[in-house]
């Protein structure tokens, strides 16, 4: 209800109250006057107590002083003296007289008879009604005058409010017309002045924003994670470098965050963002004394820094500092590496495409030199290998040298009837013994059709360990690429060597990514059936991400499924995850399939997974991957 309507209601209630008070006052006055007249009559009639004669004569005597509504005299002995005059019940009353109905009855015993009367209050009532009507006229005329005045003022205010609201709406549409102060009257004049000031301030702010927007459009957008400029501005900078009229030389540094995919998979995207932010922090520290250094994030995992007027020697010194910082960070997070650095000098009118080719070559070579390495690529002479070609050579080299090491991560069983299970994680190293980025090695091997050779290297080395150390207990899990698992030739080779070592085959669990297996379900059935025939077991990794996940339950029948880490992380705050995981566990248990929860990094995640009755737990909170040293095999895996 609006203020205006509330005020009208208040006025009505107030004047209704005044009307009621006036009525009460007039009625009380009338009653008091009638009581006085009745008392006077009662005293007067006592003087005629010994009356003898007709009742009419008595009536004529008394009416000189009193008005009677009803008069009745009853003689005790002579009925001829009886007399009755008037009405006991008055006629219907008009208009407001009904509100002041009042009776004044009196009965008096005389010596010769009994007198019963009702004094008439008509004159008093008429006077009271007249008085009350005057009061009503005054009260409600005042009400009407106040209401009309309020209505007129409200209409005036509404006009001002309407004008103000329309003006504010126009301000929102960035219309800055002059304010018509004549249309803002009374108490709203102050609002008009404030609107004028607000309009001027808003216009000034918009002018500032326009200027800032124009300035931003000339620079670049900012990456929200690292605070660096994005690829758009980097492309503009490369175009500037390529212009003939520019006289500039310096160094282009490209840093590749090679562990981003692994961290995202193992710890989630929040950890991946923290990892990128830490790399950006180390880059800022390294170039803190180079205010002219321009930093960019040019792709998901690549950073670029352009530093004008910097020599190769100075750039190498900076790269050494960044490498040292990366090594410290690597020791903190326990990854195989942090990032690799490529350095490329540029001159004026350098071709942008050539610069990017050189930088990609420099980073690719750095990746083959070991963790956190850097490489300077000044030019392409035609003799060097770069990009993917260099990786093909590096993978052939590690296959020839059998350059593989293993890390081991335990999977904790949640019940006594679940067998001990450990996963071997493959790591590859170059000719200097430095580790290569595993994700990149696997990706490049698949791209060049060499993943089967990598998988054979993993299988043969795992079997050699189990043959050399027969006392090692429990199941051993190794990863096989989906490309190898769905290749019939590889499956035939694998079955052949496992048939000759069945006691070893029974100890092995071959882990394959679910998404890769879904692309060729018939080949997947063949792979699982063949390995089951020699006693080996199958585990489906990253389970739950594919649309055909439940088809694996019914038809593929693996021995283990490893839930994708996204189902574990944050499960304590996600009831939908709990429901889905519980449903998977219930179905798997009916099919005698073990369920392993991965990515367990917090105690609350472990407790909830245990409550949901998973069969095993894997993650950094349970056990971190540790190097599998030859001299420690019995101690660490027995």
How far apart CA 379 and CA 359 sit, in angstroms, is: 10
Per-residue pLDDT tens for 255-292? 999 888 888 877 778 888 999 999 999 999 999 988 88
What domain range includes position 281? 231-386
Final residue belonging to a domain, choices 194, 218, 242: 218
Final residue belonging to a domain, choices 218, 253, 286: 218
- Check whether 245 has a pLDDT greater than 70: no
**Residues 371, 317 share a domain:** yes
Identify which has the larger pLDDT, 94 or 177. Answer: 177
**Residues 316, 266 share a domain:** yes
**Residues 599, 468 share a domain:** yes
Question: Domain of 319: which CATH number?
Answer: 3.30.70.270
How far apart CA 261 and CA 259 sit, in angstroms, is: 6
Question: Domain of 424: which CATH number?
Answer: 3.20.20.450
Q: Does a structural domain hold residue 110?
A: no
**Residues 375, 313 share a domain:** yes
**Residues 159, 271 share a domain:** no
**Residues 481, 350 share a domain:** no
Per-residue pLDDT tens for 101-136? 888 899 999 888 999 999 988 888 888 998 999 999
| pLDDT value of residue 326 | 92
Confidence of residue 340 (pLDDT cuts 50, 70, 90): very high
Q: Does a structural domain hold residue 154?
A: yes
Average pLDDT over residues 250-257: 92
**Residues 406, 382 share a domain:** no
| pLDDT value of residue 382 | 47
Per-residue pLDDT tens for 499-513? 999 999 999 999 998
**Residues 299, 195 share a domain:** no
**Residues 574, 461 share a domain:** yes
Final residue belonging to a domain, choices 386, 421, 447: 386
**Residues 593, 447 share a domain:** yes
Q: Does a structural domain hold residue 88?
A: no
Q: Does a structural domain hold residue 91?
A: no
Average pLDDT over residues 528-533: 93
**Average pLDDT of the chain to the nearest whole number:** 85
Give φ, ψ of 189 to 5 degrees: -65, -35
- How many Cβ atoms from other residues are within 10 Å of residue 80's Cβ? 8
DSSP class per residue in 237-266: HHHHHH-TT----EEEEEEE-TTHHHHHHH
Q: Does a structural domain hold residue 61?
A: no
Q: Does a structural domain hold residue 539?
A: yes
- Check whether 565 has a pLDDT greater than 50: yes
Environment class of residue 512 by beta-carbon count within 10 Å: exposed (0-12), middle (13-18) or buried (19+)? buried
Q: Does a structural domain hold residue 226?
A: no
Environment class of residue 535 by beta-carbon count within 10 Å: exposed (0-12), middle (13-18) or buried (19+)? middle
- Check whether 549 has a pLDDT greater than 90: no
Q: Over pLDDT 70: what percentage of the chain?
A: 91
| pLDDT value of residue 638 | 41
Confidence of residue 637 (pLDDT cuts 50, 70, 90): very low
Q: How distant, in Å, are the alpha carbons of 450, 464, 480, 612 from that of 398?
A: 12, 18, 18, 43
- Name the domain count of the chain: 3
**Residues 242, 136 share a domain:** no
How far apart CA 514 and CA 597 sit, in angstroms, is: 15
**Residues 576, 480 share a domain:** yes
- Check whether 471 has a pLDDT greater than 60: yes
Q: Does a structural domain hold residue 393?
A: no
Confidence of residue 93 (pLDDT cuts 50, 70, 90): low
- Check whether 171 has a pLDDT greater than 60: yes
């Amino acid at each position: 209800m609006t203020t205006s309507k509330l005020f009208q209601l208040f006025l009505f209630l107030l004047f209704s109250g005044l009307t009621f008070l006036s009525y009460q006052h007039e009625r009380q006055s009338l009653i008091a006057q009638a009581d006085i007249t009745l008392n006077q009559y009662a005293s007067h009639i006592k003087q005629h107590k010994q009356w003898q004669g007709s009742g009419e004569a008595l009536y004529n005597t008394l009416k000189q002083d009193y008005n009677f509504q009803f008069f009745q005299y009853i003689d005790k002995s002579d009925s001829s003296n009886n007399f009755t005059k008037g009405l006991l019940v008055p006629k219907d009353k008009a208009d407001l007289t009904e509100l002041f109905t009042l009776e004044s009855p009196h009965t008096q015993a005389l010596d010769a008879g009994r007198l019963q009367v009702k004094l008439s209050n008509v004159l008093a009532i008429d006077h009271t009604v007249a008085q009350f009507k005057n009061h009503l006229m005054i009260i409600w005329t005042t009400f009407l005058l106040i209401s009309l005045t309020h209505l007129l003022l409200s209409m005036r205010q509404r006009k001002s409010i309407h004008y103000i609201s329309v003006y504010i709406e126009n301000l929102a549409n960035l219309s800055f017309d002059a304010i018509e102060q004549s249309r803002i009257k009374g108490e709203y004049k102050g609002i008009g002045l404030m609107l004028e000031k607000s309009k001027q301030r808003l216009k000034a702010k918009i002018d500032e924003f326009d200027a800032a927007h124009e300035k931003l459009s000339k620079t670049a957008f900012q990456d929200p994670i690292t605070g660096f400029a994005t690829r758009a501005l980097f492309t503009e900078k490369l175009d500037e470098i390529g212009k003939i009229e520019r006289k500039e030389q310096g160094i282009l540094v490209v840093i590749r965050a090679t562990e981003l995919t692994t961290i995202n998979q193992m710890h989630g995207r929040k950890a991946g963002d923290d990892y990128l932010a830490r790399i950006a922090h180390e880059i800022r520290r390294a170039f803190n004394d180079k205010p002219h250094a321009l930093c960019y994030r040019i792709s998901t995992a690549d950073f670029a820094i352009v530093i004008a007027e910097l020599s190769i020697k100075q750039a190498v010194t900076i790269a050494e500092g960044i490498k040292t910082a990366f090594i410290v960070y690597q020791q903190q997070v326990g990854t195989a590496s942090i990032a690799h650095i490529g350095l490329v000098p540029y001159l004026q009118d350098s071709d942008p495409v050539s610069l990017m080719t050189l930088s990609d070559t420099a980073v690719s070579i750095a990746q083959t030199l070991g963790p956190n390495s850097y490489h300077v690529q000044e030019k392409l002479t035609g003799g060097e290998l770069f990009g993917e070609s260099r990786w093909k050579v590096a993978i052939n080299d590690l296959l020839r040298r059998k350059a593989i090491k293993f890390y081991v991560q335990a999977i904790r069983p949640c019940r006594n009837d679940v067998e001990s299970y450990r996963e071997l994680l493959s790591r590859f190293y170059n000719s200097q013994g430095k580790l290569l980025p595993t994700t990149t090695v696997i990706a490049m091997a698949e791209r060049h059709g060499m993943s089967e050779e990598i998988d054979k290297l993993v299988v043969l080395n795992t079997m050699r360990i189990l043959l050399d150390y027969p006392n090692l207990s429990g199941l051993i899990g190794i990863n096989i690429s989906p490309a190898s698992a769905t290749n019939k030739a590889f499956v035939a080779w694998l079955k052949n060597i496992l048939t000759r070592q069945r006691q070893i085959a029974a100890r092995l669990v071959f882990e394959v990514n679910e998404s890769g297996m879904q692309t060729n379900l018939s080949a997947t059935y063949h792979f699982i059936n063949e390995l089951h025939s020699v006693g080996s077991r199958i585990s489906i990794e990253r389970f739950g991400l594919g649309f055909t996940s439940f088809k694996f339950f019914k038809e593929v029948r693996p021995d283990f499924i490893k839930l994708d880490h996204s189902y574990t992380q944050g499960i304590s705050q996600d009831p939908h995850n709990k429901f889905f995981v519980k449903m998977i566990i219930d179905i798997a248990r009916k099919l005698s399939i073990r369920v392993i929860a991965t990515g367990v990094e917090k105690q609350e995640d472990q407790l909830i997974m245990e409550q949901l009755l998973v069969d095993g737990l894997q993650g950094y909170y349970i056990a971190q991957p540790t190097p599998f040293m030859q001299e420690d095999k019995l101690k660490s895996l027995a």
